[in-house]
Amino acid sequence: MIVDLPDTTTSLVSKALVKIREEGGVVALGRVLTLVIATAPGDEEEAIEAANDASREHPMRVIVVSTEPGTDTSEVAPRLDAEIRVGGDAGASEVIVLRAWGDAARDEESLVMGLLLPDAPVVTWWPGVAPAVPGTSPLGRIAQRRITDASTQADPQAALQALSTSYMPGDADFAWTRLTLWRAQLAAVLDQPPYEPVTGVHVTGAIDSPSTTLLAAWLRLQLGAPSACRLTGVEAGSHGIHGVRLERPSGAIELVRDVPGVATLRQPSQPTHDVALPRRTLRDCLADELRRLDPDELYGEVIRSGLAELADGVEEVTA
């Protein structure tokens, strides 16, 4: 069910939610968190779809704040249009879409404060353009977790470097979340004998992929900063990470994804294996980040220290 509330206020939206609950019993109260999605007009639906899918694992209230970044609010008449989605149109969540113009869009924090679930954590997600410092932005200040996506920025690598200087506990980025399967597989391989030091790291991926850079930074940091660390960038837009090669005295370990969703694992004195390594969807990344509401300390260490070490010692080659 979708209820449209044109030219409204947040107070009227809140009253409409109560009315829907009392009259239809549609909206359940067992929500575990509030997810605030900050997006530009026209980009809401993909984010809402991902949130609806993730809500089946994390029942929540979703508040979508849609404003036009960079607009001179003084030149536009103030207006707030709202839309409430419940039932089949909202998965296991309740979705409130706020489209604001003019002065109504000036203070995003005031738009959502009256709609937050009481005594429940708040997570803010920017699927597209994110503020320069998420932790001090109007919607970032009210959140325990703040999720960005460097890969959607105009310059993903520059966005990654900016995140390293603006990091605050509670920040997260989907460029890191997309590495979960890669990190798990590499950790499992290195946890098997022979227990030898890694003398060289070679990571290959799209030149504009922040996930490729973060994987190289994580490996360099976790493996004691091997001196031979090389990051090879291939054609931009060529689907993220391509492969990892770890040099050890007994031979090299290679994990290469030449086929979408499947990687080939090669190890000395062992048969070659095919490993399921699919690209993580937006829903997968969001559900993963919502599983923890405490700061991701490892991400913080990699984004602040790992990137700096990588910049000091990496050899960048464009294939």
pTM comes to 0.91
**Structure tokens, 109:** 């924090």
**Where do the structural domains in the chain lie, given as residue ranges?**
2-148, 180-318
Taking 70 as the threshold, does the pLDDT of residue 316 lie above it? no
pLDDT tens readout for residues 123-160: 999 999 999 999 999 999 999 999 999 999 999 999 99
**Structure tokens, 152:** 């959607």
Query: How much is the pLDDT for 302?
Result: 96
Taking 90 as the threshold, does the pLDDT of residue 229 lie above it? no
Cβ pair 51, 287 in contact under 8 A: no
Cβ pair 111, 98 in contact under 8 A: yes
**Structure tokens, 233:** 């960038």
**Structure tokens, 51:** 């949130």
Beta strand 241-248 with 200-206 is antiparallel
**CATH for 180-318 (3.30.360, 1.20.120, 3.30.70, 1.10.287):** 3.30.360
Query: How much is the pLDDT for 313?
Result: 56
Residue with tokens 């003019």: 102
